[in-house]
Amino acid sequence: MSTITISDQFYQLLERRANMTGCSPEEVIEYMIWQHLSPPSHPKVPKNRISEPDSNYAAEVATYIRNAALFEQLLPELLQEHNGECVAIRNEQVVGFNTDWEELQREILEKHGPGGGLFIITVSKFSRLLLDRVLNRVR
């Protein structure tokens, strides 16, 4: 196995992501590297595409995407009842609201633990634009 050195700042971000998802830093970084370095699926690209890592983190990303899709589906109702608040969705269920993003994250992690594809976003008329940017980063 090879070793790669990264800055403490990036390792702290990596550890934070790993802790939030209940995965190891190695699983997180392997998935992220796969995501950015594997060639895109395309009919004209040879079929020697690197297969997706079989890891807990890959499952977390898939759950995160489903949670984001649920948010998009619920957005009209959320705009009426929770405009300006942050909403937390975990395992395809709304699990909390708060006006403070970090406080909501702490509450959900304390109550439910890591994992579940935790998706937190502020409900606003601009949420769809933000959602598109967020999903482009994880796909």
With CA atoms as reference, report the closest residue to 89 among 62, 66, 111, 57: 66
User: Residues with Cβ < 8 Å from 98, sequence gap 6 or more?
Assistant: 85, 86, 88, 104, 107
Mean pLDDT value across the chain: 88
Locate tokens 């050195």: which residue?
5
Task: Please report the pLDDT score of residue 128 as a whole number.
Answer: 87
Task: Please report the pLDDT score of residue 40 as a whole number.
Answer: 62
* pTM of the full structure: 0.77
Q: Which helix (H) or strand (E) holds 122?
A: strand 119-122
Q: What are the boundaries of each domain within the chain?
A: 57-138
The tens digit of pLDDT for each residue in 50-66 reads 677 778 888 999 999 99
